[in-house]
Amino acid sequence: MVRVAVLGAAGGIGQPLSLLIKLNKDVTALHMYDIVRCPGVAADISHINTNSTVSAFQGNDSLKDCLTGMDIVVIPAGVPRKPGMTRDDLFGVNAGIVRDLIQAVSDNCPKALVCIISNPVNSTVPIAAEILKKNGVYDPKRLFGVSTLDIVRASRFVRDIRPSFDASTQIPVIGGHSGNTIVPILSHIQNLVNLSEDEIKTVTHRIQFGGDEVVQAKNGEGSATLSMAYAGYRFVSSLISAINGQPATECCYVDLSVDPAGAEYYRQLGASDLAFFSVNTSIGPDGITSILPLASISSFEKELVKAAVSPITSNIAAGVSFVNK
Ligand code: NAD
Ligand code: LMR
């Protein structure tokens, strides 16, 4: 009995993500919101014979009806990168989009679990937190930056160099979601794959810059959409299971104040005073229940954490000052 809204539902990610959510038998209502193309896309998906109902919402005036009563809100609204751009280059457009959508969440479904996909995630999540705080409805347990695509890529890219590795094995990825803020913890699978130092460096770099591969291959037509829809759905389906009483474990970009004791492990690694960081979490029906430590981390990975701190600090500061300026 879970109701899910997708904001940006007619986009490259929004369409396949909505399709996957429509297939989930635990979803009763799927609300699809966008500023364009939404009625057609929603009508199309609504014919699929699962029990959930699908409704289309287009334009600002429909946000209230779209969001009221929602358990989960997923936000892939915003512009994607073109070759030569960084995710931070999207801030100018996407910061305002996320701010306005989160204002509507604050007004209409402040208890929903909110998943932010829109880039730059390292900044859009702090923006969302600031807006929720301003409205007096912030609960850090319920706000997630979706970094699952990094985790999906990590397993797949290891499989590319070790064909015996099962690509469904999860590899934790911590830090943030851009370039060298992405910190894959390959030491978790070292006993299975025995990667050389050079292989670790090469595959780590590929995971960190995997998004660029897709941006370049699409050559101006956007960034990852189908793999992101898969990753986003994997995360949303974990939340749906958690709401239905089956706790989930997921790495995601969260407010570390959600569990100060659990966050201490990451602070000791070098995450120092950061407010947000992607960490391993346990998730229950009301959101994050605890921040979990990693089973192991190598000295190489600890150095990567240290390198991630400065860019994430700037990304968070940019988000916070955007809201408070
Ligand atoms: P897209 O352009 O194909 O789709 C975006 C959709 O958002 C469009 O349908 C557009 O109409 C809609 N939109 C724009 N303004 C809106 C608003 N105010 N309210 C509601 N909808 C609005 O882009 P895409 O490829 O789907 O990517 C969307 C975002 O996701 C980008 O910012 C991209 O960088 C990001 N992304 C994140 C990850 C991740 O791992 N977190 C992965 C891939 C892409
Ligand atoms: C990704 O990792 O594929 C996304 O963040 C999109 C991008 O801009 O690379």
Say what the ipTM of the complex is: 0.99
Any idea which ligand is nearest the CA of 77? Answer: 1
Verify whether residue 177 is a known catalytic residue: yes
Domain map of the chain by residue range? 2-146, 149-324
pLDDT band with cut points at 50, 70 and 90 for residue 249: very high
| Contacting residues for 49 by C-beta, under 8 A, at least 6 apart | none
Q: Which of 31, 177, 188, 205 is catalytic?
A: 177
Q: Nearest ligand to the C-alpha of residue 119?
A: 1
H helix and E strand count, the chain: 12, 11
Amino acid at 97: I
Is residue 76 in contact with ligand 1, taking CB distance under 6 Å?
yes
Q: Please give the helix or strand (H or E) that residue 229 lies within, else none.
A: helix 226-243
pTM for the full predicted model: 0.99
The whole-number pLDDT of residue 210 equals 98
Class of 149-324 in CATH: alpha beta
Distance CA 56, CA 29 (A): 11
**Span from the CA of 180 to the centroid of ligand 1 (angstroms):** 22
Ligand 2: distance of its center to the CA of 102 in Å?
21
Judged against a pLDDT cut of 90, whether residue 14 lies above it is answered with: yes
The residue whose CB lies within 8 Å of the most ligand 2 atoms, and thus the one to mutate among 17, 79, 87, is 87
What value does the mean pLDDT take over residues 305-319? 97
Which ligand is nearest the CA of 15, by number?
1
Amino acid at 183: V
Q: What is the pLDDT of residue 302?
A: 97
Ligand 1 atom nearest 149 alpha carbon:
40
**For range 280-299, the mean pLDDT:** 98
The per-residue pLDDT of the chain, averaged, comes to 98
The string of pLDDT tens digits covering residues 195-211 is 999 999 999 999 999 99
Q: Is the CB of 224 under 6 A from ligand 2?
A: yes
147 vs 178: CA distance, rounded Å? 10
Q: Which residues are known binding-site members for substrate? A: 81, 87, 119, 153
CATH code of the domain made up of 2-146 = 3.40.50.720
Query: Which residue has the CA at smallest separation from atom 21 of ligand 1?
Result: 8
Paired tokens of 72: 């989960």
Cβ contact 72:6 at 8 Å: no
Verify whether ligand 1 is closer than 6 Å to residue 94 (CB atom): yes
- With a 6 Å cutoff on the Cβ, whether 147 touches ligand 2 is no
Q: How many CA atoms, within 13 angstroms, populate the side-chain half-sphere of residue 151?
A: 26
